[in-house]
Chains A and B, each alone.
Chain A
Amino acid sequence: MLKISIDKLSALYNAIAADKELILPVRTAGVVDYASYTEGADVAIDTLKTAKSPKNAFFPQFETLYNVNKKIIPVDASAEEGACEGAGVALRSTLSVEMAPLVDKDFVIFGIKPCDVKGIEVLDNVFLAEPVDNFYKARREHGILVAMACNEPEESCFCSAFGIDAADPSKAKADVAVWMADGNLYWKAISEKGEALTESVKSVFEDSDEAAVDATKASIETILAKLPNANLSLDMWGKGVLDDRFYSPVWDEIFKPCLACGTCTFVCPTCQCYDIKDYTTKDGIQRYRCWDSCMYSDFTMMAHGNNRNSQKERFRQRFMHKLSYYPDKNDGMFSCVGCGRCVDKCPQSLNIVKVIKAFEASKDKEGQA
């Protein structure tokens, strides 16, 4: 294990940023989100929860897939087949299709929390399964995750319900695990990519003992156990519950305050639905994709119309997807990681925890939902 004093972190940032893009929590106009490091950026590394998840780095809110460009070129018409006598210069238009480039440079996401690392695992199961999403795959191959322990978990966190250990990022599927303890940042490579990164920035570190973070780990564990939703029961969810939950009467009431905004979806580290659209640019068409939200009225809209016409159905889609459909397809793995962003951000204070609790309560009331 290596260490560096927290006062000297900018030396570490500069060392990483020397040849790689460094993405870390930065404060802009009062809000902390993952952004590229630049000299003088207001880095807020001790932020527990950024407003948005870091999924943007692998699956950006919008990205161009390809561009179609139209070009008008003058040609000598007299040389063309069947040209009439005296034909001169004619204008012909050509179309070219240009694929958007894939990411080909390494980048580092620094300070990603164990829940968000798990969130990326959730995305992997979607985008890296056949048919593989090339844009995502390229970013995954070039992205290096430096996962950080959550020093002071908050009441909206419920990652332990999904078996995530916020105290020990070395258990996460990241490349480097770091802890902040007694004025130092402790650094431990946990993958090959992580070893390589460590090698390139080794000069800024001092050696340290593995035991240095034990006390911090223990104190985080203590807090984690005390969190109000630490033992959130997921008994009613997972594989094979689709029919029972889908038709539950609980949905009839619970969705009502939902505004149908996309806040929960857009701050979520695991939401992966996207829409593909065309934009008419000056000389052509840009085909791009952007995040979609199941809360929106045009979600999965087709030529014949929409297959989810009510907000109840759209609301149900979001939670069934996270707690039932996804586990059905991924061996019981949930597509919620308990980061608690929706808990913090929902304008109506309606969130996945309340949904899970409402189902638990309905079970207590009637024996089953």
Chain B
Amino acid sequence: MQGLIDRLKALLADGTVARVIGWKKGDMSYNPTPAIFNSVEDLDEFVYDGFCGANLSKMMIDATKLEGKTAVLLKPCDSYSFNQLIREHRVNRDNAYIIGIACRGKLDIERAKATGIKGITEVTGTEHDGADTVTFKTLYGDKEVAYNEIMLGRCYMCKGKEHVIADEVIGESKDTAVVDRFAQVAEIEAMSSAEKFEFFKKELSKCIRCNACRNVCPCCSCRKCVFDSTKFDSQQKANVDSFEEKMFHIIRAFHVAGRCTDCGECSRVCPQGIPLHLFNKKFIKDIDTFYGEFQAGKDPEAQSPLTAFTFEDVEPKIVSERSKG
């Protein structure tokens, strides 16, 4: 990490960039906060470790409007989101200096706690070049867990170790994929209609409409969301009826369909543990099946599948034809 900090300091010192978007040490060893560093001194608080899961690309929408270049640290999967933002003209590429940083999968503190860890006072072994095991010092004794057992759900479906856009890459990433990214979707597709309904009802009934999924999403970059409209006949703050939670999540997923890079931030931030990626992945899977493989953010010039068509596209009745009822 020291090498990375030195590089960032050099970039700031020689005026290549005016600020750096990275992570700031938290008050505990597992809660760094995304932060903007404006000076070399600020960088003393910089941190990059296994808990830096946040995708910083969305912060560039505002940052690239500022005077001077902004350096941003992007993990391989975050770089897809940045490309997508370029595609949608939401960031100014000329004002961005992209540092591709190495990633070996990011840690999920919730998953760690689910193994029975509590009262954490210190966590070690989370650095990029750290050990294969993470050590938790806790008030109730120490515990070691394998790094790859407590990663964020999305990391098990890693998109690969290559950055799709970067001005420089520091370090070597690791592809942590172990399961098929559509396995969960396929599992649900195989259920009966009633089972599907029960599954989603149970999951969505947990939704508290905090809008964290929307606000963290690099694709949800509308200045004003339709769900925040005061003229909209729906309550954006509460699921007053079970219809509303369905509507919100379907419409949100639809609005990012063909643009979602599958970064998994929505599921990471959900305070109620709703597997929101299942909506986005469903659209991605369908797009792949019907209109050919498409990875949003891979190519900033590519046409989004929902703003394109072919004369031979499948008819909507394909849905009922292939359905199991």
Contact = CB atoms under 8 A, between A and B. Distances in A.
Interface of A: 28-31, 33, 48, 51-52, 61-62, 152-155, 223, 226-229, 253, 256-257, 259-263, 265-267, 275, 277, 279-280, 288, 290-293, 296-298, 301, 343, 345, 347-350, 353-354, 357
Contacts of A48: 118
Contact of B33 (A62, A152, A226, A354): A354
B230 A301 contact: yes
Nearest to B274: A29
Contacts of B273: 29-31, 51
B233 interface: yes
Contacts of A257: 33-35, 59
A345 B216 CA distance: 14
A40 to B, nearest CB: 15
B183 to A, nearest CB: 18
A29 B28 contact: no
Contacts of B34: 257, 348
Interface string B225-263: 000101001011111100000000000000000000000
User: Which one of A265, A349, A353 has the highest number of Cβ atoms from chain B below 10 Å of its Cβ?
Assistant: A349
Contacts, number: 134
A272 B230 CA distance: 21
Given A28-B202, A155-B119, A228-B27, 4 more contacts: A154-B119, A155-B118, A266-B271, A347-B54
Interface stretch (B10-18, B65-73, B155-163, B205-213): B205-213
B237 A275 contact: yes
19 contacts: A29-B274, A31-B206, A154-B119, A155-B138, A227-B139, A228-B28, A261-B215, A262-B212, A266-B271, A267-B208, A277-B235, A288-B235, A290-B235, A290-B240, A296-B236, A347-B54, A347-B269, A349-B26, A354-B26
B188 interface: no
Given A155-B119, A290-B240, A349-B33, A261 B211 contact: yes
Interface in B265-282: 268-269, 271-274
B61 to A, nearest CB: 13
A152 B208 contact: no
Nearest to A267: B271
B153 to A, nearest CB: 12
B120 interface: yes
B47 to A, nearest CB: 11
B272 A31 contact: yes
B211 A155 contact: no
Contacts of A226: 139
User: Which one of B33, B228, B236 has the highest number of Cβ atoms from chain A below 10 Å of its Cβ?
Assistant: B33
A357 B25 CA distance: 13
B140 interface: yes
B211 A262 contact: yes
A287 to B, nearest CB: 11
B272 A51 contact: yes
Nearest to B32: A349
Interface residues of B, number: 46
A262 B274 CA distance: 16
Given A226-B139, A350-B33, A298 B271 contact: no
Contact of A354 (B27, B203, B239): B27
A75 B132 CA distance: 82
Contacts of A277: 235
Interface string B27-46: 11001111110000000000
A44 B202 CA distance: 17
A173 to B, nearest CB: 26
Nearest to B62: A256
Contact of B210 (A253, A263, A349, A350): A263
B238 A256 contact: no
B120 A155 contact: yes
User: Which one of A29, A280, A347 has the highest number of Cβ atoms from chain B below 10 Å of its Cβ?
Assistant: A347
Contacts of B139: 155, 223, 226-227
A152 B119 contact: yes
B264 to A, nearest CB: 13
B303 interface: no
B192 interface: no
Interface in B48-64: 54, 59
Among all A-B residue pairs, the 3 with the closest Cβ atoms: A347-B269, A290-B238, A349-B31
User: Which one of B36, B139, B214, B236 has the highest number of Cβ atoms from chain A below 10 Å of its Cβ?
Assistant: B139
Contacts of A298: 228, 230, 236
Contacts of A61: 208, 238-239
Contacts of A296: 211, 228, 236-237
Contact of B237 (A52, A229, A256, A262): A262
B238 A291 contact: yes
Nearest to B206: A31
User: Which one of A155, A266, A290 has the highest number of Cβ atoms from chain B below 10 Å of its Cβ?
Assistant: A155
B203 A52 contact: no
B323 interface: no
B184 interface: no
B193 interface: no
User: Which one of B28, B35, B212 has the highest number of Cβ atoms from chain A below 10 Å of its Cβ?
Assistant: B212
